[in-house]
Amino acid sequence: MRPLTREEPGARQGPSRYDLSGDELAALLEGEPSYRLEQVRRALAAGLSPEEITVLPKCLRQRLAETPAMRPAFVVATESPTERGATVKWLLKATSDRARVEVVLMRYPARVTACVSSQAGCAMACSFCATGQMGFCRQLSSGEILEQVVRAARAARDKGWGRLSNVVFMGMGEPMANYGSVVSAVHRAHDDLSLAARAFTISTVGIVPGIRRLAAEPLQVNLAVSLHAANDDLRSSIVPINRRYPLFRLMAACLEYAERTRRRIFFEWALIAGTNDRGEDAAELARLLAPLGGLAHVNLIPLNPTPGFLARGSDRETVRAFRDRLASLGLNATIRDTRGRSVGGACGQLAGGAQLAGGAQLAGAAQLAASPKGA
């Protein structure tokens, strides 16, 4: 990012005001007392707009509000709370182009979690995922990602839910395919919002180079791997990137990550009726994860419906039986609480408000049904 110059006061250097570096923000405050910089930085971290920074003189607030570089990257297109009010989904529209992303905020008894997007759309084309069905639009900058976190943190406070405690990169996009922006946003949220490193979970469908890079990061964030199948034939039909990074390569990277960080890896498993929810599937999964020992934890997710995937999710009894079978095989497993399904905000349902229809988007279901272990 090139620096601001005197000839370009307030020139926009990134999509979001959170893309501004400290030097660039200082340049916008040229001529002001030095303490103004810290006032503005704290206000931005709290989610305030320039007009709301009342510790600044009115004339400075107005000048910053009129500065292009201080504008937000997104405006709220829609806000969708669930009936019980413990989950809210925002559809955000970019102010610079037509990109749209979705953010979900969830309140639990002991924590408040934000699910944020790392890309507008996704190129991974996972068959059961609405984001994969809509295709890829563009990368998000670190500032655009951080802006989502800040928005969620402020909303949690405004709703009386308390402090944002967790951030999961499980929204739209593949975080490891936008590695630099994601990791930069994590570092900045850690520093500016005082969120602990362990509050962050970065999810991936299995981008092996990204897992290896994450293992070397100084911040000890959590890693989640969207696994969903324990053999290459089935996994390649559900998660196409498996053809590039098959299971033997993925598990080697996971083992390297675990040995280097000594941190648990969370394996996501969306249960699809008659496809990956049987006793033999549990046994196959246990064999695959055995080298990780106690550093493997399986999150079981009843499949959420999406327009482009015709398969059914497993029923509650089957989900519980699968969990119990994993436990008998020595694997730690948790049935994940499904939040936001009624507003299209649950796992795999984020689609940026796109209308998902058409034969091409049904190919994943057809391919799955024709796979060796298909229903």
Residue 136 neighbours by CB under 8 Å, 6+ apart: 119, 120, 121, 122, 123
Other Cβ atoms less than 10 A from the Cβ of 367: the count is 15
User: Of the candidates 5, 8, 144, which has an alpha carbon nearest to the alpha carbon of residue 74?
Assistant: 144
Catalytic residue flag (residue 347) = yes
> Residue 60 and residue 53: Cα distance in Å, rounded?
10
Give which of 133, 207, 118, 126 is closest to 170, Cα–Cα: 118
- Which one from 102, 144, 174, 268 is the annotated catalytic residue? 102
DSSP 150-202: HHHHHHHHHTT-----EEEE-SSS-GGGGHHHHHHHHHHHHHHS---GGGEEE
Question: Nearest Cα to 49, choosing from 151, 159, 153, 193?
Answer: 151
Contact 152, 164 (CB under 8 A): yes
Residue 171 · residue 89 · CB < 8 Å: no
Q: Whole-angstrom Cα distance, residue 24 to residue 137?
A: 28
115, 129, 254, 347: which is the annotated catalytic residue?
347
Residues labelled catalytic: 102, 347
